[in-house]
Amino acid sequence: MVKKLLKILYILMWVVLAAGLVALTGYTIEEHNDTICKKVIIQIDYGKSDTLISQKDILDILKQTGNRLKGQSIGYINFEKIEKVLGKQPYVAHTEVYNSLDGVIEIDIVQRQPILRIFNQKNETYYLDANGNVLPVNPAFSARVLVANGYITEPYIKNINYSQDSIRKKDSLFYHSTILNLYKVARYIMSNKFLKAQIEQVYVDKTGEFELFPRVGNHIIVFGNAEDIEKKFERLVIFYKNGLSKTGWNKYNVINIKYQNQVVCSKITNK
């Protein structure tokens, strides 16, 4: 009988403790929800890119979309909604919104990484990022990236994605796209430290082939189409390091790497 009574008391004790814990948790949550937002901290990870969006831009977006934070009770702030609003901004790759116990809301943002700025024949200009997303130009900021111009007839279309999914599918519209080919060439250049420092412009000629303009040296690099990109650039880098480094950067005015397994150079003629 005594053992049975002790067992009942033991169970009742745990029931009381559990009820107390639930009540305490509910009180803590309610107290936390009533906490007023005193401060908003915005942290933006720009990676290796220049600034395209600022903390002020983020605050302006929140105001324009009716998401008031400072002075608002934590319980009335929809964190998921704010993440979705900021995630729709073209320069934002990822966002996370959370709060601390002392009424401070933190917004962590990862900015997209532009690798190419395009100027087409319609006088439109925009960026492509490292994942092939189209980004509009921010009048307040300018990213120092590779530039492409010339006979680029494709118009600027928001939210078009020239990413690897399009390359894998080899859809006729995308696979033969000048923009897609520029993206592939730009991505390779920006991934190579030497080429990134040396190549500053890609020109598209009437046939859709590319000419590259370097920062150092008075020459043009005839690249051709967007096939065998890696092999072409390997030949160029070897020629730069083993050829021009010895003969001088201004010895030739044309370096042609479009043909397989060769580098053809034209000398500068003295007038």
Please determine, for residue 176, whether its predicted confidence score (pLDDT) is greater than 60.
Answer: no
Answering whether pTM is above 0.85, one says no
Please determine, for residue 198, whether its predicted confidence score (pLDDT) is greater than 70.
Answer: yes
pLDDT in tens, 19-72: 444 443 443 444 446 688 888 889 999 998 899 999 999 999 988 887 777 777
Average pLDDT taken over every residue of the chain = 80
Can you give the pLDDT at residue 228? 92
pLDDT in tens, 88-134: 898 999 999 988 767 888 899 999 999 999 999 999 999 999 988 88
Give the C-alpha separation, 18 to 21, whole Å. Answer: 5
Close Cβ partners of 152 (under 8 Å, ≥ 6 residues apart): 118, 119, 120, 121, 178, 179, 182, 204
Give the C-alpha separation, 126 to 116, whole Å. Answer: 8
Q: Tell me the residue length of the chain.
A: 271
pLDDT band at 244 (very low <50, low <70, confident <90, very high): confident
Give the C-alpha separation, 71 to 60, whole Å. Answer: 16
Residue ranges of domains in the chain, CATH in brackets: 39-111 (3.10.20.310), 114-267 (3.40.50)
